[in-house]
């Protein structure tokens, strides 16, 4: 972008005057933010490159965890410093926009991955567009009350959204059996890194088809219309409504169908307007289904094509060419299943297509016990996706192998050619260039800027690592000071900057084993108190995570960690060498501050459970060692950086399978008094437990049908041993060398590489 300071300031001034009746000197931070965003959008629109005529991929995802847009957009446009200088010249500070709300339209890694892929595709000139939902409220804003998670509405739009454009002309109507909804798209440009390419993220907003019925109002029947309007708008109210009730489940189904139906109607309409043959849709489009949430797009496209006069077999043939499916989990409960009656009731025409797929599958003469889409009144969405889609991919080598060997073993035996692996990645622009600029400058000074768009180039720092160590340590210390100040301001917990920063930030789930981390902290606490642990390296344990509103065991873990934090931080003897903080409302912007300040990256899921992970890659890129299991992308991190440069513990996937046959956790507890002491704190009155949630947490580890499902207690001793080794290694030149060797080995984990593999192996675009 050719930046003209005078013109930019004039544009901002005109927008402030027209929209807010104010000027640069008097504008509030919110007003200035919106004016700056609109000025950039206005300036870039005429120069945007298009990819007309090229086959495009539509990335269908229920989540797009984009984070704060302004700094990333300005960086990719190459005008970040220009805009900063321009605002400074009139007495305004660009950094004031750090308080702008994140667009938290995602839950964790899946949604952040989608955001990284969009940015990488634009930066590589690949025609990839996102399709999703414009939730009025994000996941939720998290606070803590008496240690418990409290959810509040995440009103991300209160700051305005200058980066999106409402495209009323492309609105469509989505029909349910009992309701018609108007779907209005909002388009957000995805700017490539300094290449002029702009892809698109189209998010759909649900609105009433007719907002106001004058006749009904005059007849005093307006309440009926109000109910209809509420039913229409609530589809887009919030990401992932609680589905512990049937009402919540139906709302999720409506959300998923709304998103894919609107997107497919939009695309087919444009194909028809261009005179294209819909049976040759694969020449112009392919669609990536990001997990099972958008899989209902398959029967919907079949329905739409038959509505245009084509046969079921013709429609099936199109779907078999255009759809591809990414699986993000091996957990049976996370592979979406729908009650057949619910789909038939809400989406009868779509259900007919699913039944037709089931009959087609039955007609192939396969074992019905192994191959089915509908079984005992339940629709298995992953099975539908695998049966129809052209390609199915896992997101790390170990994960894809588990899919082939266990989760989808039967389908892999039938369709081995469908299954491919594409390991996840992260964009190095946001996750190093933007969030850790001084480190990026240090790297640039040694090897140039080629790594900005080809992360494999970062391996060239290896010969300079010894020379870079002093400067790297200074940068890390400065990042830690900034994070400590931010935590003190927002959480009220003071963390000495000379402490080791041991970090575990990710979605809260039992298999991710935040509980293992918390138990180890109690182990250290009691050891320091009784003198069995001496000279403990001063360490701050930093957590960040949100638990799904209906996931009560995850909420119990949050309560437990917060009680451990209160115990440690209020004890003057122990707090001199240990602090614990669970940051509230962990999001992308918080992550940007954390990943560049961490000394230790905790990636401690039970082996075989984490599909990939992407936080492990962010920490690695920023020069942080991994304390983790051989799970997900940790395996590939060890392959790239060397296992000797990480801190690996715990049972392997093969050992987990063996242990499960005879595992009884109380035997382990009985042999380890220190572990028992930490575990008993859940039930012996050490912590308040008004709701009995800590007792249930204790029981989940020790008793019941399947105690300690995720082998927290089995891996505890090895975890503590390796953790102590890491903490005592900290500060040595050898330790810091390991950190920089991780950065040097991070090249594989760029989302640029990931999308290029998708483009070559699956989408066949950009050729």
Q: Which sequence positions are flagged as catalytic? A: 328, 506-507, 512, 614, 618
Cβ(491)–Cβ(569) below 8 Å: no
Strands 539-544, 500-505: pairing is parallel
Handedness of CA 9, 14, 15, 19 (dihedral sign): positive
Buried b (16+ CB within 10 A) or exposed e, 670-705: eebebbebbbebbbeebbebeeebbeebbebbbeee
Tokens of 688: 């308040």
CA 613 – CA 445 distance, rounded (Å): 30
Strands (E), 79-155: 104-105, 128-133, 141-145, 148-152
The phi, psi pair for 570, rounded to 5°, reads: -90, -5
Strands 148-152, 539-544: pairing is unpaired
CA 304 – CA 496 distance, rounded (Å): 61
Question: Within the chain, how many helices (H) and strands (E) appear?
Answer: 31, 23
Cβ(8)–Cβ(42) below 8 Å: no
Cβ(198)–Cβ(218) below 8 Å: no
Nearest to 319 by CA among 287, 292, 271: 287
Cα dist. 453→3, 187, 308 in Å?
Answer: 22, 25, 43
Question: Which run of H or of E encompasses 318?
Answer: helix 312-322
Residues 6+ apart with CB under 8 A from 542: 487, 495, 501, 502, 503, 504, 505, 581, 583, 594, 598
> Which residues are paired to 582 by β-bridges?
543
Cβ(609)–Cβ(631) below 8 Å: yes
Cα dist. 311→300, 308, 356 in Å?
Answer: 14, 9, 12
Residues 6+ apart with CB under 8 A from 530: none
CA 71 – CA 92 distance, rounded (Å): 15
- Per-residue 3-state assignment (H helix, E strand, C coil) for 458-469: HHHHHHHHHHHH
> Which residues are paired to 105 by β-bridges?
64
Residues 6+ apart with CB under 8 A from 48: 189, 196, 198
The phi, psi pair for 365, rounded to 5°, reads: 75, 25
Cβ(464)–Cβ(743) below 8 Å: no
Strands 104-105, 148-152: pairing is unpaired
Residue with tokens 């344990």: 541
CA 527 – CA 550 distance, rounded (Å): 35
Residues 6+ apart with CB under 8 A from 138: 102, 103, 104, 105, 154, 156, 238, 239
């Amino acid at each position: 972008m050719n930046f003209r300071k005078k013109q930019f300031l004039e544009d901002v001034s005109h927008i402030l005057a027209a929209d807010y009746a104010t000027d640069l000197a008097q504008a509030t931070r919110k007003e200035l933010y919106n004016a700056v965003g609109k000025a950039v959008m206005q300036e870039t629109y005429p120069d945007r490159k298009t990819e007309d005529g090229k086959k495009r991929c539509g990335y269908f995802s229920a989540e797009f965890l984009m984070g704060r847009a302004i700094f990333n957009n300005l960086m990719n446009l190459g005008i970040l410093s220009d805009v900063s200088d321009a605002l400074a010249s009139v007495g305004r500070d660009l950094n004031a926009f750090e308080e702008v709300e994140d667009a938290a339209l995602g839950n964790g890694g899946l949604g952040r991955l989608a955001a990284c892929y969009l940015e990488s595709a634009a930066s590589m000139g690949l025609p990839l567009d996102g399709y999703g939902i414009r939730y009025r409220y994000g996941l939720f804003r998290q606070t803590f009350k008496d240690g418990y998670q409290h959810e509040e509405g995440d009103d991300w739009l209160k700051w305005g959204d200058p980066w999106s454009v409402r495209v009323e002309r492309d609105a469509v109507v989505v029909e349910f059996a009992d309701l018609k909804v108007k779907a209005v798209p909002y388009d957000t440009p995805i700017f490539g890194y300094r290449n002029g390419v702009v892809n698109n993220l189209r998010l759909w907003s649900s609105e009433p088809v007719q907002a106001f019925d004058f006749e009904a109002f005059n007849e005093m029947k307006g309440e009926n219309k109000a109910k209809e309007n509420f039913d229409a708008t609530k589809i887009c109210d919030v990401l992932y409504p609680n589905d512990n009730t049937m009402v919540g489940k139906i709302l999720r189904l409506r959300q998923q169908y709304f998103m894919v139906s609107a997107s497919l109607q939009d695309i087919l309409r444009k194909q028809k307007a261009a005179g294209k043959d819909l049976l040759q849709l694969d020449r112009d489009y392919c669609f990536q289904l990001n997990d099972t949430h958008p899989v209902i797009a398959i029967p919907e496209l079949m329905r739409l094509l038959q509505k245009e006069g084509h046969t079921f077999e013709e429609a099936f043939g199109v779907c078999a060419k255009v759809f591809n499916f990414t699986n993000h989990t091996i957990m049976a409960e996370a592979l979406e299943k729908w009650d057949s009656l619910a789909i038939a009731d809400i989406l009868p025409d779509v259900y007919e297509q699913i039944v037709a797929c089931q009959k087609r599958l039955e007609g192939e003469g396969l074992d019905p016990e192994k191959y089915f889409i509908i079984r005992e009144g339940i629709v298995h969405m992953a099975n539908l996706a695998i049966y129809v889609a052209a390609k199915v991919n896992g997101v790390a080598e170990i994960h894809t192998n588990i899919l082939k060997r266990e989760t989808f073993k039967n389908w892999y035996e039938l369709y081995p050619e469908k299954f491919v692996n594409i390991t996840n990645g992260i964009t190095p622009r946001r996750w190093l260039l933007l969030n850790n600029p001084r480190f990026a400058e240090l790297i640039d000074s040694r090897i140039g800027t080629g790594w900005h768009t080809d992360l494999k180039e970062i391996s060239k720092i290896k010969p300079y690592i010894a020379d870079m160590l002093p400067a790297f340590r200074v940068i890390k210390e400065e990042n830690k000071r900034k994070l400590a100040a931010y935590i003190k301001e927002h959480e009220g917990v003071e963390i000495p900057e000379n402490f080791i920063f041991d970090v575990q930030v990710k979605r809260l789930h039992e298999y991710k084993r935040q509980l293992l981390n918390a138990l180890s902290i109690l182990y250290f606490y009691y050891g320091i108190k009784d003198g069995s642990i001496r000279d403990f390296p001063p360490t701050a344990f930093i957590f960040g995570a949100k638990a799904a509103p209906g996931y009560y065991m995850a909420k119990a873990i949050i309560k437990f960690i917060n009680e451990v934090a209160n115990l440690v931080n209020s004890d003057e003897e122990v707090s001199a060498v240990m602090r614990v903080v669970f940051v509230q409302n962990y999001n992308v912007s918080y992550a940007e501050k954390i990943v560049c300040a961490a000394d230790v990256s905790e990636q401690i899921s039970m082996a075989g459970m984490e599909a990939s992970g992407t936080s492990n890659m962010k920490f690695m890129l920023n020069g942080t060692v991994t304390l983790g299991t051989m799970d997900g992308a940790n395996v590939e991190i060890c392959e790239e950086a060397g296992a000797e440069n990480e801190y690996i513990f715990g049972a392997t996937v093969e050992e987990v399978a063996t242990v499960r046959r005879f595992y009884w956790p109380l035997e382990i507890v009985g042999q380890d008094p220190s572990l028992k002491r930490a575990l008993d704190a859940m039930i012996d009155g050490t912590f308040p437990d008004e709701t009995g949630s800590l007792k249930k947490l204790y029981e989940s580890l020790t008793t019941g049908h399947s105690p300690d499902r995720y082998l927290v207690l089995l891996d505890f001793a090895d975890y503590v041993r390796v953790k102590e080794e890491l903490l005592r290694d900290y500060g040595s030149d050898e330790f810091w060398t390991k950190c920089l060797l991780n950065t040097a080995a991070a090249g594989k984990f760029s989302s640029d590489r990931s999308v290029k593999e998708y483009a070559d192996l699956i989408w066949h675009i950009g050729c």
